[in-house]
């Protein structure tokens, strides 16, 4: 007999207090991941100004920033001017009961304000401090101010379009350094919390968004180091079995039949069994380097719409998909089925976490409260955290 599913939300970080001193995207996104897991994330914002993320374009008609409205659901806001003695004392009182302090200023910034994280940890060894910066606490770039794309530029992760001999920044919907840095920060914080809950000590975590993005280029870095021959994904084609083709309705369709079994399924599906042996039978094969197979595949893909190809890939058990842009993603039935978005058209919706608890059927981050107004919880946080 199957046990009844839990009726209470699954919030593994319930009771964890996170004091977020960060500005802009990386700490906001890291805190977003923690609050979705149940943490009480308190944003410490500059009195009168607040976190600059509140003003980052694009803005909606109501003047709200899509960045702020995307990353700050479920959090609380307190305003402090840490140059004032009374507010600095309030900060120390909050820090004394926090489980985690999250920050992203350049090394040395907080010391100039009289805040010494090493000393705070000496007094409370269970305290976790996460410094989530562009380039880390050490190294020649540690003092380089960073926004997402200058980190990405130094990590082979921006699109550059050359027009009339001049470089122009190509399209980008996010900084992968921001995304990966925040994800690594949240993971490290959770690991340190597990250590503390097991009776161990906290940690001072040094997360560089650049490190996180460079790590993602591990294949070329490892291969270059091992062989002594430069590996560069920009100059390495994959082959016709892992490429895009034009559909009947002019859309790009990706084929990914790298394994022989998938290639056989595809060939049988399009009634071209004569092409099967163009796959070598290797565990993974990108296809012949000449253009013969690609020339064979072009008219095959041009004979059906992208929608039909998507149906075929699913029916034939073959990896492949139409190349979608964000508006297409939002219209896709899988988007609705996965319940990633909470809210109605015309309102600011909540983007739920990518984490889904399969044992309960719920998605982390569901039901969070809207992003806070600046200083909205000044009194409540003082009462809840420090009793005054």
What is the pLDDT at residue 237?
81
- Cα→Cα distances 61→64, 65, 67, 346, Å: 7, 10, 14, 11
What is the pLDDT at residue 6?
55
pTM > 0.85: yes
Domains contained in the chain, CATH given: 17-216+349-386 (3.40.50.10540), 238-331 (3.30.1540.10)
What is the pLDDT at residue 236?
84
Indicate the pairing of strand 320-322 with strand 252-256: antiparallel
Distance, in Å, from the CA atom of 380 to the CA atom of 147, rounded to the nearest integer, reads 33
What is the pLDDT at residue 275?
97
Ranges of residues in the chain with a pLDDT under 70 are 1-7
What is the pLDDT at residue 173?
86
Query: Which tokens hold the place of 54?
Result: 């509140």
What is the pLDDT at residue 1?
39
Cβ proximity of 19 and 101 under 8 Å = yes
Q: What angle do CA 378, 384, 388 make, to 5 degrees?
A: 70
CA dihedral angle for residue 79, residue 108, residue 119, residue 202, rounded to 10 degrees:
80
- pLDDT tens digit sequence for 169-217: 998 889 999 999 999 999 999 999 999 999 999 999 999 999 999 999 9
């Amino acid at each position: 007999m199957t046990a009844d599913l839990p009726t209470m939300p699954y919030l593994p970080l319930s009771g964890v207090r996170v004091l977020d001193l960060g500005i802009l995207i990386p700490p906001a996104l890291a805190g977003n991941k923690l609050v979705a897991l149940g943490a009480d994330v308190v944003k410490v914002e500059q009195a009168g100004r607040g976190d600059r993320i509140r003003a980052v374009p694009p803005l909606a008609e109501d003047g709200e920033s899509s960045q702020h409205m995307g990353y700050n659901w479920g959090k609380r806001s307190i305003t402090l001017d840490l140059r004032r003695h009374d507010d600095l004392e309030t900060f120390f009182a909050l820090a004394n009961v926090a489980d985690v302090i999250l920050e992203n200023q350049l090394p040395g910034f907080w010391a100039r304000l009289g805040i010494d994280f090493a000393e705070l940890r000496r007094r409370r060894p269970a305290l976790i401090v996460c410094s989530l910066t562009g380039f880390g606490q050490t190294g020649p770039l540690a003092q380089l101010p960073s926004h997402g794309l200058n980190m990405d530029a130094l990590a082979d992760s921006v699109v550059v379009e050359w027009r009339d001999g001049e470089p122009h920044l190509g399209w980008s919907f996010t900084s992968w350094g921001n995304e990966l840095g925040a994800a690594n920060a949240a993971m490290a914080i959770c690991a340190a919390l597990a250590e503390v809950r097991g009776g161990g000590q906290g940690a001072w975590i040094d997360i560089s968004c650049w490190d996180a993005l460079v790590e993602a280029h591990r294949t070329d870095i490892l291969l270059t180091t091992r062989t002594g021959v430069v590996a560069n994904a920009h100059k390495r084609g994959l082959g016709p079995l892992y490429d895009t083709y034009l559909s009947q309705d002019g859309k790009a369709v990706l084929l990914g039949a790298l394994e022989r079994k998938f290639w056989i399924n595809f060939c049988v599906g399009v009634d071209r069994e004569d092409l099967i042996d163009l796959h070598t039978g290797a565990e993974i094969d990108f296809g012949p380097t000449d253009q013969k197979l690609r020339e064979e595949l072009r008219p095959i893909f041009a004979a059906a719409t992208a929608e039909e190809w998507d149906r075929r890939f699913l029916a034939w058990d073959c990896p492949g998909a139409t190349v979608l842009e964000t508006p297409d993603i939002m219209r896709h039935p899988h988007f609705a089925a996965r319940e990633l978005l909470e809210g109605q058209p015309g309102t600011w919706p909540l983007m739920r976490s990518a984490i889904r608890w399969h044992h309960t059927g719920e998605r982390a981050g569901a039901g969070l409260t809207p992003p806070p107004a600046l200083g909205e919880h000044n009194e409540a946080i003082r009462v809840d955290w420090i009793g005054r």
